Structure 1
């Protein structure tokens, strides 16, 4: 039995698919899948591509060119995972900047500190010491009562 035939059958069984179910996924018949798995027929490149997608692997793996059965990541997946920390940081910066509003008449920046109390992206400090959640609640209550 060829590597391709063996790997298709093994992956299909690991995914608990019948030959008929795999055939339905790739748009062929159970007989065709059976013939491929018994190494009677060789799948075309197009059919091999469909089978690889259906079995969540690569054509290279099915053909024995690699022993890594994981599918290739798309360029979008690679970029997104590589730059995710930067996107998250940028998102935090945007949220922070949205808390500020500039008055056009005298360039004074208004900042509602209640927004800071409510935003979990801020660590509030007093004299270099981080305020606990209880401290923030007390300070918020004091300011609420005062104003």
Structure 2
């Protein structure tokens, strides 16, 4: 894990939501002191805390960890769920074309 990337993403998300460490602590259950250590790159987060923080900030764990650059994959899932059947076929065609067919995309 790139702790600097995590710290940057955590800070950015907090700014986007207008939260300070105490606010995020109240929302997530992670102590303000621990959040401060994460922001300063002094501590590597536990898996449980990453999940708590991602949920509180309404972003994916992958985004918070710097594994991808889409902050709100929940929004994408929500939009997909209301797409027409034809639009879903178009989306899957694009995903298969650009994501490759590595067994990671399955039509549902």
TM range (shorter): 0.5 to 0.7
Structure 2 distance, partners of 1:75, 1:41, is 32
Match of 1:29 in 2: 31
Mapped partners of 1:10, 1:36: distance in 2: 13
TM-score (norm 1): 0.50
Cα displacement (A) at 1:62: 1.1
| Greater fraction of residues in helix | 2
* Aligned-residue RMSD, C-alpha: 2.3
CA contact (8 A) 1:23 1:33 kept: yes
Residue number in structure 2 paired with 1:62: 64
Higher strand share: 1
**Cα offset, 1:72, TM superposition:** 2.7
Q: d(CA) in 1 for partners of 2:78 and 2:59?
A: 18
Q: Which residue of 2 aligns with 1:118?
A: none
Q: 1:75 to 1:11 in 2, by over 3 A?
A: closer
- TM-score (norm. length: structure 2): 0.66
| Aligned counterpart, 1:9 | 11
Query: Which of 50, 53, 62 lines up with 1:51 in the alignment?
Result: 53
CA drift at 1:26: 1.0
Deviating beyond 4 angstroms after TM superposition, the runs of 4 or more aligned structure 1 residues are 73-77
Shift of 1:9: 0.9
Alignment partners' CA distance in 1, 2:6 and 2:13: 11
Higher relative contact order (CA 8 A, sep 6+): 2
The whole-number CA distance in structure 1 between the counterparts of 2:13 and 2:61 is 13
User: Could you report, residue by residue, the CA deviation over 1:70-116 in whole angstroms, capped at 9, with x for unpaired residues?
Assistant: 1335967643x0359xxxxxxxxxxxxxxxxxxxxxxxxxxxxxxxx
In terms of Rg, which structure is larger?
1
